[in-house]
Amino acid sequence: MRLRRFAAVLTAVLALFAGGAAGLLGTCGPFTDMANDLFCPFVLEIFYLGITTGTTATTYSPGDSVSRLQMAAFLSRTVDSVLLRGSRRARLNQFWTTQAATALGVTEVGLTPQFVKSDCTDLWVSDPGLQIVARVRGSDGAVLESWTSGINPRGVLVASGRVFIAANTNPGRMYMIDPSEPVGSVTTVSTALGVFPQTLTYDGSNIWSANSGGSVSIITPGGPPPWTVTTVTAGFSQPNGTLFDGANVWVTDFGAQRLFKLDGNGAILQTVTLGSGLAWPAFDGTNIWAPGGGSVWVVRASTGAVLATLTDNGLTNVQQAAFDGRRVLVTSGSDHRLALWKAADLTAIGSLDTGAGTSPLGACSDGKDFWVALSGAGGLARF
Amino acid sequence: MRLFGFRRLAAICLAAIAAAAAGASTSLLGVCGPFTDTTNDTFCPFVLEIFTLGITTGTTPTTFSPSDNVTRLQMAAFLSRTVDRVLDRGSRRAALEMFWRIQNPVRLSTTSVGDLPRGVASDGADIWVANRDSGTVSRVRGSDGRLLDTWTGATNADQFVVAIGRVLLTGQTSPGRLYQVRAAQPAGAVSTVASNLGDDSIGIAFDGVRIWTANFSGPSVSIVTPGLVVPWTVTTVGTGFTAPTGALFDGSNVWVTDFTVGKLFKLDAAGAILQTVTVGTQPAFPVFDGGNLWVPNIGSSSVSVVRAATGVVLATLTGNGLNQPQFASFDGERVLVTSPAGDMLSLWKAADFSPIGSYATGIGNGPTAVCNDGVSFWVALSGVDALARF
């Protein structure tokens, strides 16, 4: 408390000198209408953090009531400030956003890398071109291992200390890697998934695959393979992406142009009509970001309400969304672009051209950087 | 500001508030998002942000009532939701798309360690496990669960603190010991930096300068000052203690649980008791969540939540799978408590003490010590000599 009071006085003194001869010495920071009492440190904190600027440069109006509009500003700035300061990037003093393709850190990985996931230290990349799953060290981008997969490795899931890979086959397959074991071949844990699995998610008990052949498979991890699989087809046309929001599994259906909320048995609980080209969504803790065609739909998970349709980023072929705690990144293959939004208020931050022919596809965050599979360039880019 | 392409408000079609029913929608075009009574001016983005985040739902689906004052009750709701949203989004699990909780013990990913694991701690990358019966320390890589190293010579290894770039752990011996592992060195024998602690050292904490141990049979608290040479200087205080068990530092003071008398003691810098808090029967190894202490009570199968600033018992939690709970850990949002007697893990939301659920680890697994590395909880399964990721 003493330190804070000292800081209050020091701030006022500094304001006096920085402002020139006309400076006014406040009683609580710059504010002349605030007592330097028990509440002063709180006022100073939100002033330093930029959450309030006062009612004027020298007044805080401590006795005034707060309108709901003013409250919205305070809370919005609070969320922004805390998320920015609390991020890993802030701790590493990395406040930049990569501005040019030449500044992307690209690791050569396979021929046609598709999807990528982080285990919080390393990245796992599926590559059907060489039929491998590559392990890339997040800190420096070095390729550590190449696991021999079966055919057509596609969506990747890291869960429960293992790496799972959907195989885009008919019938579908799922592979598994124990990353604590020496590098070798993947283990096939099931060959009985629905037709053409695309991506995987996990609900804490079962693994779910979205199968573009028209089904969703629920795989129950167990002992030695094969693992038990239940495949549900009712209501599905061409499932593509899947995610778990902490309560329910959601599936994007490319053919039906809809987002489905599922119950624990795979039955459709709720249908949200979106649009064409639905691909691979992300969840930001509150809302689902579903890319498709030239749009990104933002859907509130708790209600299924479509909050927004984001269309003005100039993209025409959006693929996968990823969330890093503050921002959502969306890849666009034929546009060879990456687009960024601020997740809290859906404002566009910008977009980056990754270069003709790079075809960015899968994306994830490791909590610090976004990582993007450049399927046309045989690379994994750090963004 | 213009950033690599554009920086402008997205074309937000916020009006399309779809009804919950399948495919149905009722479009309500507002002036600021769904709100018809809020001007699309400089304040609108702030309103939209807290609407998008679910911090406000408006006074009706189409009104925000921007000029109304905020009551203290409404303010509580807004602040509570703000805290929740920030914690949800700011966690590493959110960035890694890990929104699940393990539901079943067969899903627990385990790593075999030494005999009778009793203590665990994370250094941010690796997990350290104290194996009491084998007198070893296991180092497990957090990213993939691989056993990296095994250190020897830690007789009756018990609890950890990772501090000053080292891994420090107690030895429940008589007199008590403090061991040190230099993680950057090749695996070998631990070094003993003090062998004159009070008897049966178990709990351990670091206050930024010194290491504190709770010595069960001492009964005492030892304060160890790290030095350049071994042995390190030890001061032992016995006044007022009966059976010190767990220890933690809250940023201002060291707290110690006293198993036999069911008390929690707040200590001054010299180890004297500043404050006594009555908790449940047989308090064991507590955790601090930044505001409150969570104290598992073995004898009363409860958890006492104590405000560190005042010593007031805010709540006594029961049920939710608690069965002679011993250890607690905090991950930034949630508190996990282990009950080895019932082979259970119990999870609470730390911000409001609401139970999230309880999870059986399997008969005989005996979950004891627990820590968090910022992504996962790690639990010592003393019954099967393993470390599990939760």
What are the pLDDT digits (tens) for A280-303?
999 999 999 999 999 999 999 999
pLDDT at B109: 79
Distance between B162 CA and the closest CA of chain A, angstroms = 20
Which CATH architecture best describes the domain B105-389?
7 Propeller (2.130)
Of A205, A285, A311, the CB nearest to B88: A285
Interface contact A180-B70, CB threshold 8 A? no
pLDDT at B165: 87
- Tens digits of per-residue pLDDT, B155-180? 999 999 999 889 999 999 999 999 99
Interface contact A306-B55, CB threshold 8 A? no
- Whether A64 has a pLDDT exceeding 90, the answer reads yes
* pLDDT grade for A5, boundaries at 50, 70 and 90: very low
pLDDT at B326: 98
Q: HSE-up of B326 (CA within 13 Å, CB side)?
A: 23
Distance between A304 CA and the closest CA of chain B, angstroms = 6
Of A271, A303, A367, the CB nearest to B95: A367
Task: Taking residues B299-323, report their average pLDDT.
Answer: 96
By the 10 Å C-beta count (0-12 exposed, 13-18 middle, 19+ buried), B2 is classed as exposed
The H or E element spanning position A69 is helix A68-86
Distance between B38 CA and the closest CA of chain A, angstroms = 9
Task: Taking residues B247-265, report their average pLDDT.
Answer: 97
* pLDDT grade for A23, boundaries at 50, 70 and 90: very low
pLDDT at B108: 66
More confident of the two residues B234 and A316: B234
Among A345, A349, A302, smallest CA distance to A330 is for A349
B345, two tokens: 């893990």
Among A362, A382, A364, smallest CA distance to A115 is for A362
Q: Which residue of A has its CA nearest to B41?
A: A69
Distance CA(B28)–CA(B244), nearest Å, equals 63
- The DSSP call for residue B160 is E
Task: Check if A101 contacts B (Cβ < 8 Å).
Answer: no
Q: Where are any strands of DSSP class E within B32-114?
A: 109-112
DSSP letter for each residue of A172-187: EEEEEE-TTSPS-BPE
Q: What is the ipTM of this complex?
A: 0.82
Interface contact A159-B92, CB threshold 8 A? no
Contacts of B94 in chain A (CB under 8 A): 284-285, 323, 325
A156, two tokens: 């990747």
Torsion angles phi and psi, residue B309, rounded to 5: -70, -30
Q: Which amino acid is at B126?
A: D
Contact B250, B293 (CB under 8 A): yes
Domain locations in chain B? 2-90, 105-389
How far from the centroid of its chain's Cα atoms is residue A359's Cα?
19
Contact A94, A346 (CB under 8 A): no
pLDDT at A16: 39
pLDDT at B106: 56
Does residue A182 have a cis peptide bond before it, meaning omega lies within 30 degrees of 0?
Answer: no
* pLDDT grade for A212, boundaries at 50, 70 and 90: very high
Task: Taking residues B349-354, report their average pLDDT.
Answer: 92
* pLDDT grade for A372, boundaries at 50, 70 and 90: very high
Interface contact B52-A271, CB threshold 8 A? no
- Tens digits of per-residue pLDDT, B100-118? 877 776 566 789 999 999 9
pLDDT at B103: 75
Interface contact A205-B75, CB threshold 8 A? no
A7, two tokens: 């800081």
- Tens digits of per-residue pLDDT, B182-234? 988 999 999 999 999 999 999 999 999 999 999 999 999 999 999 999 999 99
- Tens digits of per-residue pLDDT, B1-32? 333 443 333 334 443 333 333 333 333 467 89
pLDDT at B102: 75
Distance CA(A112)–CA(A121), nearest Å, equals 23
Interface contact A345-B49, CB threshold 8 A? yes
Distance between B93 CA and the closest CA of chain A, angstroms = 8
Interface contact B89-A258, CB threshold 8 A? no
Interface contact A180-B141, CB threshold 8 A? yes
- Whether B153 has a pLDDT exceeding 90, the answer reads yes
Q: Does the predicted model carry a pTM greater than 0.90? A: no
Distance CA(B133)–CA(B383), nearest Å, equals 12
Q: By percentage, how much of chain B surpasses pLDDT 70?
A: 91
Among B73, B156, B67, smallest CA distance to B114 is for B156
Q: How many helices (H) and strands (E) does chain B have?
A: 3, 30
- The DSSP call for residue A280 is B
